[in-house]
Chains A and B, each alone.
Chain A
Amino acid sequence: MSAAAELQRHYRDRTAAARAASARGRKVVGLVGSTVPTELVLASDAYPLTVAAAPGGPTPNADRYLERHIEDDVRATLEALLAGAYAWLDLLVLSRAWDSHLELYYTLKEIVRLGESECIPPLHLYDLLHGQTPANRTYGLERVRELRSRLAALTGVTATDQRLRAAIRAVNGQRAALRRLAEVRRDPAAGISGKEALTVIGAGRFLEPAVHEQLLLAYLAEERPRLEARRRLLVVPGTPLSDLRLHTLLEEAGAVVVAEDDSWGSRSVGADVPEDAADPLEAVFDAYFLHVPSPRVAPAAARDEWLRSEIERGGIDAVVFFIPRSDHWFGWDYPRLRSLVEAAGLPALLLRDLEREAVVDALTAGVRGR
């Protein structure tokens, strides 16, 4: 099996590798959100598995509990949890970088209290506050130490400085491979579509970092046909890109996505954690606190800066904003981000629905607008 096929398999069957680890007796910790440090879970001798069911299917059980403003990905994840898809997890850690994840935490607690599901794993809230202030950093450091204690109680292994440094090296290795992919995919000769990039990046959420790194490097070494000339898009979504629907629609309409402002895509790389930090736990915390994109923790200016730098790199024909109908926050940022794109002389295309017709309309309007 090629590395591409192997990565696609893990992207589709999101729990396969973790279930195998669990069967071998390893503790598996589910993570909701991008701001829970993988290094800490690894250093506690547990398997870190992102819990994110692919949205798009029916969610009748989740709909009994969730309000309409909750995003599709969270709805799909609750549906999977209620169906028992994650009942075997040893712990489920929910971060608060997105409001919906906090609502999911409260909803799961209430479902447990009401005795309406036996499938919910033990829960832990990894509470990060809004903004990167010194006081919020102090609060966050207390929470990361609390999480270390919880994980140590679960596995019997404390994430010592030595164990953390080993985990930091492993995740930095994965980041280096992701960084290489982000560079290569912008070259049409590499033959990497946006959909495929999202798949091979996303697979890393379900694999151990070292395994993902090796598969990514093997994938980059594989031969692919050059991509034909297409409009090159940068995507700025208002909801996590935990599935392929948006990229599929855009690329079926004749474009190629070369970058996306989302931690499921180009921004999964994050910042390396210094391997020689005096306090590796603090260093791990800071890497996530300061560099992982999210609506709650990361300031709006950080998003502007990333977008500006990506545009300045060149090779982008248009920027697509996706604001789902359920959006209740990204719309405050949109006019500012749109101005930033237009000031750079690029078309800013707006999508509200994941429908073929809407995508074609938006792309056509972008062509006309140039």
Chain B
Amino acid sequence: MEERTTEERTTDTDRVQLQSTRLAQRYQRAWFQDLRRRVFEEGVPYALTSATTPHEILDVFEIPYVTNEWWSSLVAAKRASGYYLDRLEERGFHDGLPHYGAMALAALLDKDNPNAPWGGLPRPALLCARLVDQGTERLWSLMAEACGAPFVPIEVPGSTVLYPRWWEVARRNWEDVFETHRIDRVVGCFRELVAECERITGRRFDEERLRALLERVQEQEECFDEVRRLICEAPKLPVRLPEQLTNVMTAQWHRGSDWALEHARRFRDEVWERVEAGVAAFPDERVRLGWVGVGLWQNTDFYRAFEESHGAVFVRSMYLSIASDGYLRYGLRDPLRALAGRYASFNETLHVAPWLPEWTVADCRRHRCHGAVIVNLGSAVKFTQRALEVAGIPTLVLDADAIDTRGWDEARMREVMAEFLERRLGA
């Protein structure tokens, strides 16, 4: 652990409590500025990708990448999403289209904006996304057209077998759980990505390098698995949800790198120290909540808004839990296949019943959640709400947009949450 300054030790009740969080924030900002410099000044090709694509392949070729979801969360956190969504509407794209993935398209089309967050998105040399729905191909093709770069889609066949408790077996028996014919097709797509990377860099694919990288990724995710255990077992929440998100996701966007592995260890150690020292993020914690669905990036302060008033803390989100349950895939004899074993069902585990509801119930129980809040986006929300209620976990479905600040009514949302906490959880 790095030594903290006196000033930092005395600010534990402040917005940022962990030294790891500050380091992650600083690292990400510096990384993006460095990326922009390399792209603009040195002409280094970079890739724009979706979150559930095999970034490890790009790492093997040393092609830097920006994740679309990260860019969207950054735009939302800077409260610039409304501006970008207005620009898309001016071009005829209606307001009901998914916002989460659209920020990059808006940024690429709005290339002359001098006030873009962090200087705006540079033009990528390659785009890669998993086709999670029928709009994804259209959206990414528009982005490819806007920047004149090739688009490599990752196709994933539909699941025909859905083991309810997938997370108990998927770490090692991923071939059985996620179906051989599906993994075969995903491997085929990965090979197409490899071929495109070889074309861009002029280098041959190094399988050994991928295996070594995946071993580091496994170690990183094992750190996060340990962090989850610590959070679940600690008497009180040691690290607030916004700080969980910052630390986990910053490392995930760079997973397998020296910095990411070092950061995952640092974060794990700092959480462990806090637990050992009996430090609680909010000492008067009385109600533990699980957050289900996409992070509320446009307003992460919402996660701590009910501490003083109701003693309520958000302890759980999918981001930390999927780091271990979704990413850990042992058996690296064929590293490309193991990677496909991870990505073949990423979307399904987070959006399809019974995978999402069963996992969410088990994970909320493990976190000792008294209640859960589902952000009303995506699929299987009704199945998940019902499963949580049946499991004795009162659940609120919050009708909110994770990205778009324009429709957010803070007073109304606080009222809805307060009513839920008081009526359903007795807070």
Contacts and interface: CB of A to CB of B under 8 A. Distances in A.
A328 B354 contact: no
A127 B158 CA distance: 6
A306 interface: no
Contact of B378 (A66, A67, A325, A327): A67
A88 interface: no
A338 B92 contact: yes
A103 B155 CA distance: 17
A67 B382 contact: yes
B326 interface: no
B134 A110 contact: no
B94 interface: yes
A105 B134 contact: no
B93 interface: yes
Indicate the member of B139, B157, B378 with the most A CB atoms within 10 Å.
B157
Residue among B135, B162, B352 with the highest chain A CB neighbour number at 10 A = B135
Contacts of B185: 129, 135, 139
A117 interface: no
Contact of B96 (A96, A142, A326): A326
Nearest to B387: A114
A99 interface: yes
Interface centre among A65, A331, A332, A352 (most CB of B within 10 A): A332
B188 interface: yes
Given A327-B96, A331-B93, A131 B134 contact: no
A125 interface: yes
B96 A139 contact: no
A130 interface: yes
B104 to A, nearest CB: 14
Given A135-B188, A296-B134, A328 B96 contact: yes
Contact of B352 (A106, A130, A352): A106
Contacts of A64: 382
Contacts of B113: none
Interface string B97-110: 11000000000000
B93 A335 contact: yes
A295 B92 contact: no
A136 interface: yes
Contacts, number: 95
Interface string B116-151: 000000000000000101110111011000000000
B160 interface: yes
Contacts of A103: 379
A67 B379 contact: yes
B91 interface: yes
Interface in B164-197: 164, 181, 185, 188-189, 192
B230 interface: no
A370 B81 CA distance: 36
A59 to B, nearest CB: 13
A207 B93 CA distance: 39
B158 A332 contact: no
B100 to A, nearest CB: 11
A296 B134 CA distance: 5
Contacts of B189: 135
Interface string B326-355: 000000000000000000000000001110
Nearest to B353: A110
A355 interface: no
A333 B93 CA distance: 9
User: Which of B133, B134, B157, B189 is the most central at the interface, judged by chain A CB atoms within 10 Å of its CB?
Assistant: B134
B131 A107 contact: no
Contacts of B381: 67
A43 B134 CA distance: 31
Given A96-B158, A113-B354, A129-B185, A332 B139 contact: yes
Contacts of B382: 64-67
B309 to A, nearest CB: 31
B274 to A, nearest CB: 38
A326 B155 CA distance: 25
23 contacts: A66-B382, A67-B378, A67-B381, A99-B134, A102-B158, A103-B379, A106-B353, A106-B380, A110-B353, A110-B383, A113-B354, A129-B157, A131-B137, A131-B155, A327-B94, A328-B97, A328-B133, A328-B135, A332-B93, A333-B138, A334-B93, A334-B94, A352-B94
Given A106-B352, A109-B162, A135-B192, 7 more contacts: A110-B162, A127-B158, A130-B131, A131-B153, A328-B135, A332-B139, A334-B94
